[in-house]
A and B are shown apart, each in its own frame.
Chain A
């Protein structure tokens, strides 16, 4: 089983739709969680950190469920510019401080 698993998609949604991605992790000692966004042929960019209490940034909401060991990302009112690959990242201080990247979920928002 992979340490961090994501549904690769692709998710194809119309503009204005709400879409959600999940990411599961296997290391229960994981402590830091992030969502990154990677556009085609570009570097990954930090989208948001994920906190236990959940956090929101505009149209984006991230949640953490430690009991079930998953994090989620919800995008409301999708825009064409949201089309990208979304990477889930999990960091465990017991894993020599290494972060593990998921393989990404591809989102395409269509007009």
Chain B
């Protein structure tokens, strides 16, 4: 059973609009979460993270929100740009410091 779930396999948004990628987790012991971005034929690269003691972390156009009671986090990209088109993976760090990834969401930003 997957502990980190990304239920939307794909998302398409217009350039300049907001992209919202969602992630749910099942283990309430997770205390650190990350988003990774992956372009074709490349390895995933770190984008932004959030600790469970916070409910929001912002870095430029990227903001991650954490709702611990709902076991839900989301990544907001605003404004979205065509170069943001990629697969986005949500990940959680467990008690043994392993990163457990979701299945990814493919974002397409249309010009």
A binds B: no
Q: Which residues of A contact B (CB under 8 A)?
A: none
